């Protein structure tokens, strides 16, 4: 029987957000350099002589998908729930906004990213999102229901 292996690729993106109603400094508009760790798990390609022999997935193919689905839409954007007072001005002035429809905590963002990548057909095992150099949230793909993460109960996501 062939064993499974895990591979991980890291990404970064910069974004701003605001946790409306937060009892602390994160109630202000502020930014982060997010660090994203995407872990895939599965069996490697066994076919001798092919480009992907011994790979679970070519890191460059993974990079292409994560860039298209996650990095390009979120990098240098304002990550919005939709209840931020600043949102109207940002939209009116054509600033880059990712209107996510859920509270943009590290927990919800990691679930969103994991669900997006799973939906793209990747064999995702887990997603870890570092919000600061000292704080991260992690979600296992197996724990995300087929209908999507729990944040959907509280708000639609028009970014999928
Ligand atoms: N469980 C969570 N707690 C907090 C979140 C979150 O997403 N999930 N988010 C924030 C803020 O957005 C921001 O990340 C501030 O976090 P914090 O760790 O307090 O940031 P510091 O700059 O103070 O980090 P230090 O390394 O401790 O200086 C708040 N909480
Ligand atoms: Zn923050």
Supply φ then ψ for residue 129, to 5 degrees.
Answer: -120, 115
Instruction: State residue 159's pLDDT score.
Output: 54
- Residue 151: predicted pLDDT: 66
pLDDT at 9: 98
- Residue 159 placed within a domain: no
Backbone Cα Rg of the chain: 17
Do residues 34 and 131 lie in contact, with contact meaning Cβ atoms separated by under 8 Å?
Answer: yes
CA separation for the pair 36, 13 (Å, rounded):
8
Q: For CA atoms 102, 93, 35, 10, give the dihedral sign.
A: positive
Look at residue 144 and tell me if it is in a domain. Answer: yes
Which one, of 9, 19, 152, 20, lies nearest residue 71 by Cα? 9
Domain that holds residue 98: 5-154
Give a yes or no: residue 46 inside a domain: yes
Q: What is the pLDDT along the chain (160 residues), one digit of tens a residue?
A: 679 999 999 999 999 999 999 999 999 999 999 999 999 999 999 999 999 999 999 999 999 999 999 999 999 999 999 999 999 999 999 999 999 999 999 999 999 999 999 999 999 999 999 999 999 999 999 999 888 887 654 445 555 5
- Which ipTM value was assigned to this complex? 0.96
- Assess contact for 124 and 114: CB atoms under 8 A: yes
CB atoms closer than 10 angstroms to residue 27: 12
- Report which ligand 1 atom has the smallest distance to the Cα of 105: 7
CA of 26 to the centre of ligand 1 (A): 7
Query: Please, which residues have CB within 8 angstroms of residue 61's CB and are 6 or more apart in sequence?
Result: none
With respect to residue 21, please indicate whether it lies within any of the assigned structural domains. yes
- 85: domain CATH number? 3.30.479.10
Q: Which ligand is nearest to the Cα of residue 111, counting in written order?
A: 1
The tens digit of pLDDT for each residue in 13-30 reads 999 999 999 999 999 999
**Alpha carbon of 60 to ligand 1 centroid (Å):** 31
Q: Is residue 160 part of a domain?
A: no
Q: Quote the pLDDT of residue 116.
A: 96
Residue 95 lies in a domain: yes
Residue 139 lies in a domain: yes
Specify the DSSP element, H or E, that contains 109.
Answer: helix 106-119
CB atoms under 10 Å from CB of 134, counted, come to 6
Q: How many domains does the chain have?
A: 1
Tell me, yes or no, whether 143 lies in a domain.
yes
Q: What pLDDT is stored for residue 152 in this prediction?
A: 55
* pLDDT for 2: 79
**Start-to-end Cα distance in the chain:** 37
- Residues having CB closer than 6 A to ligand 1 are 19, 26, 105-107, 131-132, 134-135
Contact 15, 77 (CB under 8 A): yes
Does the annotation count 138 as an active-site position?
Answer: no
Res 154: pLDDT: 47
């Amino acid at each position: 029987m062939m064993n499974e292996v895990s591979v991980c690729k890291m990404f970064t993106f910069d974004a701003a957000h605001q946790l409306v109603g937060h009892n602390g400094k994160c109630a202000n508009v502020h930014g982060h350099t997010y660090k994203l760790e995407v872990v895939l798990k599965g069996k490697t390609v066994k076919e001798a002589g092919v480009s992907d022999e011994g790979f679970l997935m070519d890191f460059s193919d993974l990079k292409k998908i994560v860039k298209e689905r996650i990095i390009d839409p979120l990098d240098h954007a304002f990550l919005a729930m939709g209840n931020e007072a600043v949102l109207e001005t940002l939209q009116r002035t054509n600033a880059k906004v990712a209107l996510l429809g859920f509270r943009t905590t590290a927990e919800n963002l990691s679930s969103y990213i994991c669900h997006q990548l799973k939906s793209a057909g990747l064999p995702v095992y887990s997603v870890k999102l570092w919000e600061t150099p000292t704080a991260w949230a992690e979600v296992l793909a197996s724990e995300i229901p087929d209908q999507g993460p729990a944040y959907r109960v509280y708000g639609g996501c028009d970014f999928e």
